Amino acid sequence: MRYLKAWTDEEEGIFNDLVKKVVMEHIWAAAKEDGRLAHRGSSGIKAHVKAMVSHVMVVGQLINGDARFTDPPSYSNLIRPAQQVF
- Would residue 33 count as lying in a domain? yes
Taking alpha carbons only, the member of 80, 79, 21, 30 closest to residue 50 is 21
pLDDT of the chain along its 86 residues, tens only?
Answer: 677 888 888 998 898 888 888 888 898 999 999 999 999 999 999 888 888 877 777 766 666 665 454 444 555 545 455 554 44
| Cα–Cα distance measured from residue 12 to residue 7, given in angstroms and rounded to the nearest whole number | 6
Range of the domain at 65: 19-69
Q: What is the pLDDT of residue 74?
A: 53
CA atoms within 13 A on the CB side of 25: 6
Q: What is the pLDDT of residue 81?
A: 52
Q: What is the pLDDT of residue 10?
A: 92
Task: List, as own/partner pairs, every contact residues 14-23 make where C-beta atoms lie below 8 angstroms and the sequence separation is at least 24, other chains included.
Answer: 16/53, 16/57, 19/53, 20/53, 23/49, 23/53
Longest dimension (CA), the chain: 68
- Would residue 12 count as lying in a domain? no
- Would residue 11 count as lying in a domain? no
- Would residue 59 count as lying in a domain? yes
The total of structural domains in the chain comes to 1
